[in-house]
């Protein structure tokens, strides 16, 4: 996130503070003065932010032990599946607030029966190690893809992420080569792997994970694809529940 700085990291989660938050606090102090009432209000705001952070960290700690686990896709985590019963939603809320465990046998995570091939991106752009960062920038600006596999003679040799590209542009400029900027140490996935196994192995939803089959690059697993697949599944599940009667007949 632009204009943010990291103040903490725990359980694989970065705590980022945006400068606008500090500006708002400074504005309140300058407008209303340093009175006990103002400090009380600021204390309430800070306590609320702290509660949100604690809630997020507890979710992450409990994720390996719960059936309905948070999937970190973007700034706010979504659930690996939408609870089908109100009681399940209540149990998830209690889990996040109290840290109590729910046995994983209670239900099956919806990512457990999704294969990587079902959510991977198959229409994507690649870079060559000899391409310049300027050429990579043109690809970035010309489409929705943010992270690029680097291929040399049909062999996957690296991954150039958006963040890595921006860092190199600032320090090296557009004439720098992709080979000097790309990440060489990266995870890959197989198309037949289960999505939950990949997420567990990579600790979080990967920004860009190449999918390899028979030594060839056949797809990319991205946060956006995972998020969209889960939302589509949730929408279809909700539609089935609302359009069918218990005896299987359809409602028109």
With 90 as the cut, is the pLDDT of residue 61 above it? no
Distances (CA, A) of 216 to 21, 108, 157, 188, 198: 46, 32, 11, 11, 18
Does 91 share its domain with 148?
A: no
Does 91 share its domain with 120?
A: no
Does 12 share its domain with 86?
A: yes
For residues 54-80, one letter each, b for 16 or more C-beta atoms within 10 angstroms of the residue's C-beta and e for the rest, the string is eebbbbbebbeebbbbbbbbeeebbbb
pLDDT digits (tens, 9 = 90+) for 25-56: 777 777 777 777 777 777 877 888 777 777 76
pLDDT digits (tens, 9 = 90+) for 88-100: 555 555 554 444 4
* Residue 60, domain extent: 4-108
pLDDT of 241? 59
pTM higher than the cut 0.85 = no
Does 99 share its domain with 140?
A: no
CA 68, 71, 77, 78 dihedral sign is negative
The highest-confidence range among 22-36, 109-123, 175-189, by mean pLDDT, is 175-189
Does 124 share its domain with 63?
A: no
Q: Is the residue at 230 inside a domain?
A: no
Name the domain boundary from 88, 108, 128. Answer: 108
> Which residues lie closer than 8 Å to 98 by C-beta, 6 or more apart?
none
Domain CATH number, residue 174: 3.10.580.10
Does 121 share its domain with 215?
A: yes
Name the domain boundary from 92, 108, 124. Answer: 108
Q: How many domains does the chain have?
A: 2
> Which residues lie closer than 8 Å to 125 by C-beta, 6 or more apart?
139, 143, 145, 148
Q: Is the residue at 245 inside a domain?
A: no
């Amino acid at each position: 996130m632009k204009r943010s700085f990291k103040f903490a990291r725990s359980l694989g989660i970065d705590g980022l503070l945006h400068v606008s938050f500090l500006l708002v606090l400074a504005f309140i102090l300058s407008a209303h003065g340093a009175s006990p009432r103002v400090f009380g209000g600021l204390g309430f705001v800070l306590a609320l932010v702290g509660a949100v952070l604690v809630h997020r960290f507890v979710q992450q700690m409990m994720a390996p032990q719960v059936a309905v686990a948070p999937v970190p896709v973007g700034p706010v985590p979504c659930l690996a599946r939408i609870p089908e019963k109100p009681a399940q939603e209540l149990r998830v809320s209690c889990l996040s607030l109290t840290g109590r465990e729910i046995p994983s046998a209670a239900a099956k995570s919806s990512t457990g029966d999704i294969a990587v091939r079902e959510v991977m991106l198959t229409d994507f752009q690649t870079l060559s190690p000899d391409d310049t960062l300027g050429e990579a920038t043109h690809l970035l600006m010309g489409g929705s893809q943010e992270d690029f596999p680097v291929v040399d003679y049909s062999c996957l040799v690296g991954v150039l992420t958006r963040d890595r590209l921006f860092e190199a542009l600032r320090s090296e400029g557009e004439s720098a080569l992709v080979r000097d900027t790309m990440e060489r140490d990266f995870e890959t996935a197989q198309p037949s792997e289960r999505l939950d196994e990949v997420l567990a192995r990579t600790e979080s939803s990967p920004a860009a994970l190449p999918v390899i089959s028979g030594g060839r690059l056949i797809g990319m697993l991205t946060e956006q694809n995972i998020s969209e697949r889960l939302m589509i599944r949730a929408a279809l599940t909700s539609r089935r529940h609302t359009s069918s009667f218990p005896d299987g007949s359809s409602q028109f």
